Amino acid sequence: MNTRDEQWRVDLRAKIKAKDRTNLTRVQMPELDAEYRSHIRNEEVNLGLTPAQAMAEAQRCLDCVNPTCMEGCPVSIKIPDFIKFIETGEFLEAAKVLKMTSALPAVCGRVCPQERQCEEKCIHVKMKKESVAIGHLERFAADFERESGQISVPATAPANGIKIAVVGSGPAGLAFAGDMAKLGYEVVVFEALHEIGGVLKYGIPEFRLPNKIVDVEIDNLKAMGVTFINNCIIGKTIAIQELEENGYKGIFVASGAGLPRFMNIKGENLVGVMSSNEYLTRVNLMDAANPESDTPVYKGKKVAVIGGGNTAMDSVRTARRLGAEKAIIVYRRSEEEMPARLEEVKHAKEEGIEFLTLHNPIEYIGNETGRVTQMVLQLMELGEPDASGRRSPVEIPGKTRIVDVDEVIVSVGVSPNPLIKQSVPELETTKWGTLVVNQDTMQSVSLPIIFAGGDIVRGGATVILAMGDGRRAAKAMDEWIKNKS
């Protein structure tokens, strides 16, 4: 029976009229004071809903016959099922529903671009109302479970003794590892860095995703029997071929987006100009802003961040927290085209971040020691839509301006990590360096033992898409291994 038809759900729907549910106003996420938080590096901005707030928000969900919200979710979370458990106060049950399809609900509840996924498809939006706060509710259920001390370790099938290697411990790798462990495989995750968690650790700042939340998920996987090996680079420390020789029957490559992109403009190698990967890795992974840390980081007073994505927002808000008096986003399109989550843009503005949209850097100017002091910006306007469907930025001839800066963080995207391809030249890649896989199974078209997902395939995507890849790859690899034997 469809869970929606269970008597308690029928009764629950009947308790409040749909019209009344629609008229309820959307919950506001409690958050730290903007002035306070713009000087505090390690406190999460969003404080989370209280049980009462969550239950009230859950009432807004109409429990639709055809829940279109689920179509917007890359991992098809059973959204009404978990929300209705929240409405009745059965929060642990809600968390269980989330974990059926999502490996990292506490993470996704924080970092998913819900307004372009589930929440965009919510029935409320079609009625010109604010969508149900699905992301906030997801976070609430996952946090409640974690803090309850009654975290459920998913059941695993009896061990089948088949060894599987995972390259990279970011969201794709963790999602894949969890699913394969559930199926009884012996999963070993190899991580190049000294910390497990990939972009969740080195990339996303503590004020948006606390490390302890990621660590709980990793501990959960360990409890399921997954082994993690840090400081080990597949393709360098151990060759792919050696993994095969050592009895690994399947390899999932989730090595992420290795190379930061630069714009190849004059002055880009000046001191004080760096990639967002470098800046965030120093601050997040290496804890460089802590005086006890041996890793240095610039604490610029006038910081420009180039780009309009989530990583750009993370960088500029970090710079603000490290003491920047002026922290500026420089973006070549308008705010409407910005790929960042709406909430990040909102938070950034509240924290005093300036937005220079329709501006694009064309040169950086330095002083006698090679330190960046100014940037030359080209003014832009919007032209026709480009391949991405967004209106493309066009230069306004002759219109430039010079802005003083002492630090520039370039956040204009990444290219796939080249190490695996260097190690296994016969692996087929696109001209952008992404691995070519079957879109349904995530299996390499050139080397069947290899499956891949996340940014190494997509070239730069989101946590949830990476996780979706991991889950599809796990299902397909399981079938492939079973069909072989």
Partner 1 sequence: MNKIISKEYFSANVVKFTVDAPLIAKARRAGHFVIVRVGEKGERIPLTIADADISKGTITLVVQRMGVSSTKLCALEAGDYITDLVGPLGKATHIENFGTVVCACGGVGTAPMMPIVAALKKAGNKVITVIAARTKDLVILEEQMRENSDEVIVMTDDGSYGNKGLVTNGVEAVIQREKVDLCVTIGPAIMMKFVSLLTKKYDIPTVASLNTIMVDGTGMCGACRVTIGGKTKFVCVDGPEFDAHQVDFDEMLMRLGGYKDQEKEEMERKILHTK
Q: Which of 75, 164, 274, 435 binds partner 1 (CB under 8 A)?
A: 274
Q: Which of 24, 92, 232, 382 binds partner 1 (CB under 8 A)?
A: 232
Between 91-101 and 134-148, two packed helices, what is the crossing angle to 10 degrees? 110
Helices vs. strands in the chain: H and E counts, helices first: 20, 15
Q: Which of 28, 50, 290, 430 binds partner 1 (CB under 8 A)?
A: 290
Q: Does 436 bind partner 1 (CB under 8 A)?
A: no
| Site for partner 1, residues 184 to 203, rule: CB under 8 A | 192-194, 202
Q: What are the φ/ψ torsions at residue 169 (nearest 5 degrees)?
A: -115, 30
Q: Does 268 bind partner 1 (CB under 8 A)?
A: yes
Q: In a 10 Å sphere around its CB, with 0-12 CB exposed, 13-18 middle and 19+ buried, how is residue 466 labelled?
A: buried
Rg (CA), the chain: 23
Q: Which residue, 241 or 439, is less far from partner 1 as judged by CB? A: 241
Residues 138, 142, 143, 145: is their CA dihedral positive or negative?
A: positive
| Site for partner 1, residues 382 to 421, rule: CB under 8 A | 417-419
Nearest one of 138, 146, 2, 12 to 84, comparing CA atoms: 12
What is the identity of the amino acid at 186?
A: E
Q: Does 241 bind partner 1 (CB under 8 A)?
A: no
To partner 1, the closest distance from the beta carbon of 414 in angstroms equals 8
Q: Which of 80, 173, 272, 300 binds partner 1 (CB under 8 A)?
A: 272
The residue assigned the tokens 């395939």 is: 457
Binding string to partner 1 for residues 131 to 150, with x set by CB under 8 A, is what? Answer: --------------------
| Site for partner 1, residues 325 to 384, rule: CB under 8 A | 369-371
Q: How many residues make contact with partner 1 (CB under 8 A)?
A: 45
To partner 1, the closest distance from the beta carbon of 368 in angstroms equals 10
- List Cα–Cα distances, 215 to 170, 197, 219, 223, in angstroms: 12, 8, 6, 12
Supply angle C-alpha 464, 428, 245, rounded to 5: 90
Instruction: Extract the runs of DSSP E, i.e. beta strands, from 121-193.
Output: 163-167, 186-190
| Site for partner 1, residues 10 to 49, rule: CB under 8 A | none
To partner 1, the closest distance from the beta carbon of 269 in angstroms equals 6
Ramachandran quadrant class, 225 (left: phi over 0; alpha: psi -120 to 50; beta: rest): left
To partner 1, the closest distance from the beta carbon of 232 in angstroms equals 7
Q: Which residue, 232 or 449, is less far from partner 1 as judged by CB? A: 232
Q: What are the φ/ψ torsions at residue 377 (nearest 5 degrees)?
A: -110, 135
Q: Which residue, 183 or 238, is less far from partner 1 as judged by CB? A: 238
Q: Pick the piece of the chain touching partner 1 (CB under 8 A) from 94-102, 127-135, 219-227, 277-285.
A: 277-285
Task: Tell me which residues touch partner 1 (CB under 8 A).
Answer: 192-194, 202, 230-233, 236-239, 256, 258-260, 262, 264, 268-272, 274-275, 277-278, 281-282, 286-287, 290-296, 369-371, 417-419, 422
